[in-house]
A and B are shown apart, each in its own frame.
Chain A
């Protein structure tokens, strides 16, 4: 893959497996084999500068693992992750916003110290006075008060805490933000505040987002392009409007069909599709064939490649 100048992040054939073997003695005594969990399998995508790509899928599909690989929390087993040069010429820097604002802030630290930590650690500001004024500025960017810096995290509500984690992520002036389910721990009325804040920051600071969520209505609101993952692989990737108007993979259709629709509830539909198979033993062929109504013999043995379609979508299905 050649470097695309318009892309902020290019991910090429990314693989990551985890060793989930039983302990050494168990293997020796009970003759158990080594086991590995292939969490991310041959994932390729790119995120355009200033855009937002969303990864969606159910738990265990590998979307959070991709987020952690991109931010370097896990090293990849194989494949490459390439950030384009940022404003300074060096590869642009990424930061992450986590799902649970109750667990991701140190309860013993004052908010100003939480936000100042990256500034001090990376020596982005020289004097304590400069650090302090930058912290105040960051708090105001995310819609809090500069005086809130003296409080502790427990004095804030969930939505305000998520604002604090956004301020912390912005402290090192990143150009790329990885957001792992940033609103799923929040109430609906607060979720709207955080989503609006993230959109505003994207416009004002020219941020690029990799957005992870299982909530398709949130994803639709935030993203330009969506990649649907199933058991570690991307099964469909398309522009937001294309994906919603013309979903091509049967799994995408299943996901879209199961979103509760507030305007037109379908109370009497019978959902019969089963559950996600264990990622420890993914089915051969197309991993979705166990739940797919279109599945044939070919799907059980022959894994479909992710192929580009005329409208710019990429789909991995024999019938698309």
Chain B
């Protein structure tokens, strides 16, 4: 892991800010993480925690006035956060593939899926002939498990079901053989039985191609079944990161603990679910100290005063004073 060539994506102390007339909102605060080739990193958190924002910032897709205020993003040994828009366009699609939540809105309804695939392939590999690109498009559809790819390639998106459309979107993301895929809630719009098929497919493809995946989701079940490592976000900060077994079974941060306990278990039925009272603070009202302190049952005076940093907790890392010298 210390070997630079071993890392696909490296994010160092990333800060994203949105200036507005009342001041500056810090949407991402000091995010550092890395993903190795063939590894799936799950990003979890509540809506507004900054998990999608991290993906957008890496792809250079932040909406103005949002911008990267400090920090660095490295992809396979090359710094990409300071590229011009033109150069970044070449990175997107070619080196970073994207899968979005709603498979219907991420496909153009006016073109056949074959058209959209060959366009993407030829955009990134201009030397490829049209007929070869079409062959590759059919090959990709086959790879993502679409039955009868040779006929389906000439169909329009509306002729596909939700699960099949998401497979087409995955084929599009894979078209230029990217190093990294950012999948933002790829299964949220799908039914459970289809969801399992799509996560299985994503996992198989990423292992086969050695593609790194950043899987953004709020669904702990999807994380448990798909990810290798998990990063938990809260109010714009990374509060815990570690292997999926450690974070899900033996969480170190009180927020992760509460989150895991609040999921209704399939094994035993309880009268009362564990609940974390309150809600995540808005970006303009983040309390001093640890952002989780008003909802935390173990908070002490230090939590209300100083912001904890990510410290190693054995198998992973967590940002909590409990693991860094106590809360008093």
Contacts and interface: CB of A to CB of B under 8 A. Distances in A.
| Most chain B CB inside 10 Å of its own CB: which residue of A190, A199, A262, A266 | A262
A267 B204 CA distance: 10
B200 A269 contact: yes
**Ranked 6 nearest A-B pairs via Cβ:** A260-B221, A192-B262, A221-B264, A58-B191, A187-B46, A192-B275
B191 A214 contact: yes
A255 B161 CA distance: 19
7 contacts: A160-B279, A191-B262, A220-B264, A259-B192, A262-B220, A262-B221, A271-B200
A157 interface: yes
Nearest to B270: A221
B226 A221 contact: no
A192 B274 CA distance: 7
A261 B274 CA distance: 18
Nearest to A191: B262
Given A59-B191, A196-B275, A271-B196, A188 B218 contact: yes
A193 interface: yes
B193 A254 contact: yes
Contact of A189 (B162, B259, B267): B259
A271 B196 CA distance: 7
Nearest to B260: A262
How many A residues are at the interface, by size bracket?
35 or more
Given A188-B262, A188-B263, A192-B276, A260 B193 contact: no
Interface string B255-287: 000111011111101111111110110000000
A152 interface: no
B197 A271 contact: yes
| Most chain A CB inside 10 Å of its own CB: which residue of B192, B195, B272, B280 | B192
Given A254-B193, A261-B266, A275 B200 contact: no
Contacts of A292: none
Given A220-B264, A271-B200, A195 B259 contact: no
Given A192-B276, A220-B264, A261-B224, 18 more contacts: A59-B162, A160-B279, A189-B262, A191-B262, A192-B262, A192-B264, A214-B192, A217-B265, A221-B269, A221-B270, A240-B269, A259-B221, A260-B220, A261-B225, A262-B263, A263-B267, A266-B225, A275-B163
How many B residues are at the interface, by size bracket?
35 or more
B322 interface: no
Contacts of B195: 258, 260
Given A217-B264, A260-B225, A275-B163, A192 B273 contact: yes
B248 interface: yes
A216 interface: yes
A295 interface: no
B222 interface: yes
Interface in A197-220: 199, 214-218, 220
B33 interface: no
Contacts of A255: 192-193
